[in-house]
Amino acid sequence: LPKLTLNRPIVLIGLMGAGKTTIGKKLAHYLSVPFIDSDYEIEKTAGCTIADIFEQYGENEFRRLEHQVMRRLVGQSPAILATGGGAFMHEQTRNLLKEKATTIWLHCDVDTILDRISHHTHRPLLNSGDKREILLNLMDKRYPVYAKADWIISCQHNQIETTLTQILFLLD
Ligand code: S3P
């Protein structure tokens, strides 16, 4: 594959466990640009964990903070940006990302996600009940909105390399 030059940031969207961080890091490495994880940037800005923000201030406050951080991050071109699973659901954030970045939805089925997140406890949205049920519910609500991304790439189990190649081809 030829080397590419990015003229705008690439933003990976998708549910938790879709592979945004894993794919994002590899992509950034390949393209020799920084990888930025918006959840991590939010935690740095807030000085506490995302779970703490949800617990102490609620989801709305988290979304507000996320938007602020995202506004700062999309100004830093070129970079690969992984967003939290809910970022693109927030209308203002979605409009910002659509305007300033190339958005790629990493599309995933529920079993792949369950496999990837089964040992994680730091995702507040999944801690309140049956994970499969919560995920299926989130998929119902979110997939029609995620479909507004510029590109949709499938990212199933053990397909990380294929996914990466597909992204590099579509950016070319
Ligand atoms: C969220 C996903 C998380 C994090 C927060 C909310 C969501 O990010 O932003 O817990 O609404 O789906 P990941 O997608 O990186 O797990």
ipTM for the predicted complex comes to 0.94
For the chain, what is the domain count? 1
Give the pLDDT score at 1.
Answer: 55
CATH number, domain at 166? 3.40.50.300
What is the C-alpha to C-alpha distance for residues 52 and 106, in angstroms, rounded to an integer?
27
Assigned token pair, 142: 């979110």
What is the C-alpha to C-alpha distance for residues 104 and 152, in angstroms, rounded to an integer?
6
One-letter amino acid at 99 equals E
What order of strands is seen across the sheet that includes strand 35-37? Answer: 35-37, 80-82, 10-13, 102-107, 151-154
Q: How far is CA 115 from CA 20, 62, 119, 157, in A?
A: 15, 26, 8, 8
107 CB near ligand 1 (under 6 Å): no
Q: What is the pLDDT of residues 129-154, one digit of tens each?
A: 899 999 999 999 999 999 999 999 99
**Is position 3 within any domain?**
no
Instruction: Find out whether 163 is annotated in a ligand binding site.
Output: no
**Is position 162 within any domain?**
yes
Query: Which atom of ligand 1 has the smallest separation from the CA of 42?
Result: 9
**Is position 55 within any domain?**
yes
- Please give the residue range of the domain that contains residue 49: 10-171
